[in-house]
């Protein structure tokens, strides 16, 4: 989901700090910190846009760069191996120096040097793509799911009859619940909010997913705060006790910026950037979950891909890619939840059913204009809604278009 936290005074300062980069810089050496989709796509787009200098791609993990969305779905269920973004030989073909198990420890933006746990790396342009880390519940030492290794540990523990308590009923928590049920576990889903996915789809549409999880046997503890967690289970405020064999924390993520604390970069809920991904120091960019572009931070796979292309365009020059309408998806049980646009600041929502199967679809509008859509296994409707949002279509027109 997109987190909006605009502070106009801070934003003006960031833009002023970025302005000196707008004339372009002579770049022959690019260092990319972080090898998730944002980092890998930046390297790819630099090459496709004609950059022929040196590209160094750092990953803190020992594995080939991989896609994270499948971790809570196919990987956890055991149906898929490491979901690599590219084969090893592809990095050789792209002439990208891939440094695995290499952790960035800091940046000297004056000397243009990245400090790592092995050596220093000089750069002309630095792209920060370090992503996010899991937000933890205070006082809880549960399992988390962010990496391939996390998924493997969790997979070994889950199985028939295992009692698992999941704290957090957002996208990851609900996907974990669905995967755990498929493995035969007894699942308890806990959230302080009233319905699963309420931040993602809004309260009006969230009831659909509450019913879906209950129908699969998930025990929902909504509107419940966690008081304590111990080896035997979860105690909720008010006296309810949930016996568990394992506890998973799934309350979201925070940008991975601690390693940048001494860099002098502006860091507020991520790396502050302008609308081209330029950070507050010359030659530094941020993409993906770690970047706060023009006052907002997007945790969408599709946004990371677009941002990578936008930054590559700024480094190399050339045509600027058209802004993408945010898109996200979630696989739970036998359904695919898809969303486009945003529900932030919507002042009207229309919920209907699409197609002969009558599958749920919600349209979100502000001032009569559609700004977002969420649907359950309705890819054609979501595609049409995406085009309508891009065109600035009115809610009533989109309702007619989709016949809902």
- Residue 192, token pair as written in the block: 């302080």
**CA separation for the pair 129, 120 (Å, rounded):** 18
How far does CA 276 lie from the centroid of its chain?
Answer: 19
Taking the C-alpha atoms of residue 324 and residue 119, their distance in angstroms, rounded to an integer, is: 37
Phi, psi for residue 336 in degrees, rounded to 5: -120, 115
How far, in whole angstroms, is CA 48 from its chain's centroid? 25
Residue 73: exposure state from Cβ atoms within 10 A (0-12, 13-18, ≥19):
buried
pLDDT for position 33: 98
Helix (H) or strand (E) holding 311: helix 301-316
Reported in sequence order, the residue ranges of 101-184 that DSSP labels E, i.e. its strands, are 104-108, 113-116, 120-122, 125-128, 132-134, 163-167
CA-to-CA dists, residue 109 to 280, 282, 283, angstroms: 10, 8, 8
Q: Is the pLDDT of residue 18 over 60?
A: no
| DSSP class of 159 | -
Q: What confidence tens digit (pLDDT) does each residue in 200-215 have?
A: 999 999 999 999 999 9
Q: Give the burial class of 340: count Cβ atoms within 10 A of its Cβ; 0-12 exposed, 13-18 middle, 19 or more buried.
A: buried
Strands 120-122 and 113-116: antiparallel
pTM for this entry: 0.90
Greatest pairwise CA separation for the chain in angstroms: 63
DSSP 170-221: SHHHHHHHHHHHHTT-EEEEEESSSSTTHHHH-HHHHHHHHHHHHHTT-EEE
Say what percent of the chain tops pLDDT 90.
85
Q: Does residue 398 register a pLDDT over 90? A: yes
In this predicted structure, the answer to whether residue 15 has a pLDDT above a threshold of 50 is no
At residue 308, does pLDDT exceed 50?
yes
Pairing of the two strands 369-376 and 335-341:
antiparallel
Q: 3-state SS string over 36-103? A: CHHHHHHHHHHHHCCCCCEEEEECCCCCCCECCHHHHCHHHHCCCCCCECCCHHHHHHCCEEEECCCC
Name the band, by pLDDT with cuts 50, 70 and 90, for residue 79: confident
**Does 13 score more than 50 pLDDT?**
no
pLDDT in tens, 283-305: 999 999 999 999 999 888 999 99
- How far apart CA 315 and CA 282 sit, in angstroms, is 12
Average pLDDT over residues 331-344: 93
Distance CA 364, CA 170 (A): 19
- Whether residue 35 is predicted with pLDDT greater than 50 in this model: the reply is yes
Three-state SS at 292: strand
Question: Which pLDDT belongs to residue 324?
Answer: 84
């Amino acid at each position: 989901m997109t987190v909006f936290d605009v502070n106009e005074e801070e934003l003006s300062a960031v833009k002023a700090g970025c302005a000196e980069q707008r004339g372009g810089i002579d770049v022959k050496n690019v260092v990319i910190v972080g090898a998730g989709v944002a980092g890998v796509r930046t390297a790819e787009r630099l090459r496709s846009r004609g950059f022929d200098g040196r590209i160094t791609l750092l990953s803190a993990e020992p594995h080939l760069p991989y896609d994270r969305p499948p971790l809570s779905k196919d990987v956890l269920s055991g149906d898929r191996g490491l979901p690599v973004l590219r084969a090893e030989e592809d990095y050789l073909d792209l002439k990208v120096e891939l440094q695995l198990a290499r952790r960035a420890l800091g940046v000297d933006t004056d000397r243009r040097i990245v400090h790592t746990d092995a050596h220093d790396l000089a750069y002309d342009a630095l792209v920060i793509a370090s992503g996010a880390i899991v937000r933890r519940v205070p006082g809880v030492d549960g399992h988390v799911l962010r990496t391939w290794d996390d998924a493997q540990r969790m997979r070994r523990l889950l199985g028939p009859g295992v009692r698992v308590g999941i704290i957090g009923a957002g996208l990851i928590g609900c996907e974990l619940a669905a995967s755990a049920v498929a493995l035969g576990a007894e699942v308890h889903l806990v959230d302080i909010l009233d319905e699963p996915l309420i931040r993602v789809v809004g309260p009006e549409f969230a009831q659909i997913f509450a019913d879906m999880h209950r129908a699969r046997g998930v025990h929902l503890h909504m509107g419940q705060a966690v008081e304590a967690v111990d080896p035997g289970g979860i105690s909720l405020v008010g006296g309810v006790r949930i016996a568990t064999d394992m506890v998973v924390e799934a309350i979201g993520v925070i940008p991975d910026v601690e390693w940048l604390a001494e860099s002098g970069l502006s860091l507020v809920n991520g790396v502050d950037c302008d609308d081209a991904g330029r950070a507050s120091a010359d030659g530094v960019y941020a993409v993906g979950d770690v970047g706060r572009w023009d006052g907002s931070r997007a945790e969408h796979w599709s946004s990371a891909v677009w941002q990578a292309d936008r930054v590559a365009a700024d480094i190399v020059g050339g045509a600027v890619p058209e802004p993408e309408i945010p898109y996200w998806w979630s696989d739970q049980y036998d359904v695919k939840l898809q969303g486009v646009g945003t529900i932030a600041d919507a002042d009207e929502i229309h919920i209907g059913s699409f197609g002969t199967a009558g599958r749920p679809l919600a349209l979100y509008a502000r001032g009569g204009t559609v700004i977002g859509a969420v649907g359950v296994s309705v890819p054609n409707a979501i595609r049409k809604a995406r085009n309508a949002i891009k065109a600035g279509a009115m809610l009533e027109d989109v309702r007619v278009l989709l016949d809902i």
